Structure formats: C-alpha cells, structure tokens
Amino acid sequence: MKLCFATHNAHKLHEIAPLLPPVFELLNLEQIGCREELPETQDTIEGNSRQKAEFVWQHYRVNCFADDTGLEVAALHGEPGVRSARYAGPQRNGEENIDRLLHHLAGQTDRNARFKTVITLVLDGEVHSFEGIVEGNILEARRGGGGFGYDAVFLPDGYDRTFAEMDLAEKSLVSHRGKALEKMVGFFRAGFGPP
C-alpha cells in the first residue's frame, strides 16, 4: 500500500521508515510532486498535524499521514509547545531553539518536560488521529551528537542517556513519534487497512 509521509524533514523520514511494516510503500512529498511548504497555521499540535495531512489529501489525493511535535516544558507553562520548531524564530534553527530554551530555564529547579507527537492519517478521505507522549527532563547542557531538534537536552524518564545519545533503533522504541506511529500501525493491523 502506498502511503505518503507528509513532511520535508529528512530526519523524520529516516526515523519513521524502519518502523513501518514492509507492506507499506512509504512515499515522501517530492515523490508525489509536492514541493511547497505545507501549511502550519493552527495554534495546537493536533491542529497543525491535521492541517498538513488534509492539505496533501485535498491537493494530491494520496493516502497520507502527517505529524506535528512539540516540547512542552512545565516551568514555561507548556512552551515552546506548538512553536517548538520556530521557538527562536522563523529560520527553524535547532541550536538556536535549544539556546533559547536553556536561557529561559536558567535557575529553574523544575525541569520537567514532555515531548508530544500527534499523527494524523487521512485514508481514503477519512481522518484518524494518534498521539504519543514521552515524559522527561531538560538538562542544563547538551549531551550527545545524534538526533535533532531538542534531543540533546531531553532526558527521557527511566533512562540515563538523552535522545541524542541513543541510536535510532533505541530512540524509536522510546520516543513520542515512535509511540504515535505504533498506534497508527496497530490501527491498520486491527483491520482498517493492510495487515
């Protein structure tokens, strides 16, 4: 079954591709002829995820899924949240985003945070949603050279390594995106698509 992952983010594609069963032929946006930036104008993670998936379905008529992810920090009242990718500005610079986050958390003892991913699947025009959450803490300094986004400062609960210190296979088992994707695959296995 052909299924488009509605993202231009190569890191996300690399992370998700190994997690899908081989019955799926995963397509990227370029392969369906979509080269424009997908709209992300909603004020919630759920809203952005749905907006992107519905845009691809409406314009390209391809079964697809889109995700949106936010880092929600307790001491910052849920920031950066839906603005996580653009926290330091529209340039979407991961290092600058981390710098701004650490600046805002300077002196804070409460460093609890969570990553939240919402995947929206549009299958033959029907919309389905899947959520994944992982709890953790924000470190005071970066650790690890892998991952992307806030991975180098996010330490998931129950682990002694940041996402940036984990290899891709381990991160996928723990991560918010992996959990949301697992729910989507379970949906297909329950009889709503190919096994």
Q: Known catalytic residues?
A: 68
Residue entry with tokens 């330091």: 88
* DSSP state string for 127-157: EEEEEEEEEEEE-SS---S-S-TTGGGEEET
Q: Please name which of 134, 147, 116 lies closest in space to residue 49, comparing C-alpha atoms.
A: 116
**CA nearest neighbour of 138 among 159, 156, 160, 164:** 156
CB-based contact 134:179 (threshold 8 Å)? yes
Neighbours of 183 (CB within 10 A): 15
CA neighbor of 115 nearest in space, from 99, 98, 132, 97: 132
Q: How many CB atoms lie within 10 A of CB 87?
A: 23
Number of residues in the chain: 195
> Which sign, positive or negative, has the C-alpha torsion 25, 30, 35, 40?
positive
